[in-house]
Amino acid sequence: MSPRPFTVLQAVAAPFDYPSVDTDQIIPVRYIRTPRAQGYETMLFRDLRFDPAGNERASFVLNRPGFRDAGVLVANTDFGTGSSREQAVWALVDYGIRCVIAVSFGDIFANNAVNHGLLLIREDAAMLTATRAMLDRSPGILIQVDLEAQKWHADCQAPRHFEIEPARKQRLLSGLDEIGLTERFRDDIQRFETDYRSRRSWLNIGSESRHPSVK
C-alpha cells in the first residue's frame, strides 16, 4: 500500500517522442478493471507496443534493443493527459518505469504518480529534444536522478536542477502512505466537520444511512 521510497535512481532511459500522451495510450480502457494484484506490466502502451494479434511492434521504442529495461522515459509534452485512470501509473511502475521527464504532465496523472513512487520531472523542450536524440543514437545510456538534491543527468551530461513541489518531494522520499499521514489530523478534521455541518446546514440531507432506492 505504501509507495516505494524514491531517493536516487540510475536506470536506462528511453526516448518517447510523442508530444501528446493521453492515459488511454498508456493503458487502453479494456484492461483497467484488472485486479491490482495481477500486475499491469503487459498492458503498458498496449496498442502502441503490440499489434492486435499480440506481436511486438518492432519500431516501438520499448521493443528496441537497449530500451527494453528502461526505468526512465524522456518524453515530450503533455504526458498523462485525459482520463483519471490511476492504472496508467500502475502500468508504468509495474513495467519498471520510475521516472518520466517531460515538458508538461496531466494534472490528475501527476497527482496519481506520487501515490506510487513515480517521479515526474519537468524540463524544458530544447533539453528534452537534445536528450531524446542522444538516447536514440546510443541506446542504453543511463540517467541518474537524485531527488534530495533535485538533480538529474544522462551519462556525459552536466547535472540539471529540477523543481518539484515540496510536499510531493517529501512524499516520494519517505514513501509514506498518505492516509496514514492524514490520520494525524483526525482532530482537525472532526472539528472542521462539526463546524461545516452547522454553517452549511442545508447540505445535511437526511440520516447517516443511505436513501432508499426508487423503482
Partner 1 sequence: MPAPRTLFDKIWEDHSIRQEADGSTLLYIGRHLAHDGSYHAFNALKERGLPLHRPDLTFATPDHGVSTLSHRPEDIVDPVQRRVVDALEANASTHGFTLFGLNDSRQGIIHVVGPELGLTLPGLLLVCGDSHTSTHGALGALAFGIGASDVCHVFATQTLWQRKPRTMQVVVEGRRPDGVTAKDVILAIIARVGANGASGHVIEYAGSTIADMSIEERLTVCNMSIEAGARAGMIAPDQKTYDYLKGRPFAPTGRAWDDAEAYWRTLPSDPDARFDRQIVVEAASLEPMITWGTTPADVVGISGTIPDPLTLSDPSQRAAMMRSLEYMGLVPGTPVRNLTIDQVFIGSCTNARIEDLRAAALIARKGRAVVPAIVSPGSTPVKRQAEAEGLADIFLKAGFEWRESGCSMCCGMNGDLVGPGKRCASTSNRNFPGRQGVDSRTHLMSPAAAAAAALRGCITDPGEFGDQS
Q: Which of 11, 42, 63, 115 binds partner 1 (CB under 8 A)?
A: 115
- Are 101 and 149 in contact by the 8 Å Cβ rule? The answer is no
Alpha-carbon separation of residue 40 from 27, 79, 88, 139, 187 (angstroms)? 9, 19, 9, 25, 38
How many residues sit close enough to partner 1 to count as binding (CB under 8 A)? 68
Q: Interface with partner 1 includes 55 (CB under 8 A)? A: no
Compute the distance between CA of residue 66 and CA of residue 14 in angstroms, rounded to an integer.
8
Q: How far is the CB of 61 from partner 1 (least distance, A)?
A: 13
Amino acid symbol at 73: L
SS3 123: coil
Q: Is 131 in the site for partner 1 (CB under 8 A)?
A: no
The answer to whether 24 contacts partner 1 (rule: CB under 8 A) is yes
Rounded least distance, CB 3 to partner 1, Å: 9
- Judging by DSSP bridges, how do beta strands 142-146 and 151-154 pair with one another? antiparallel
Our finding on whether 42 is near partner 1 (CB under 8 A) is no
Q: How far is the CB of 10 from partner 1 (least distance, A)?
A: 27
Q: Is the dihedral of CA 120, 126, 127, 129 positive or negative?
A: positive
**Residues at the interface with partner 1 (CB under 8 A):** 1, 17-20, 22, 24-25, 28-30, 32-36, 47, 52, 76-78, 81-87, 89, 104-109, 111-112, 115-116, 129, 165-167, 170, 178-179, 182-183, 185, 188-189, 192-193, 196, 200-203, 205-211, 213-215
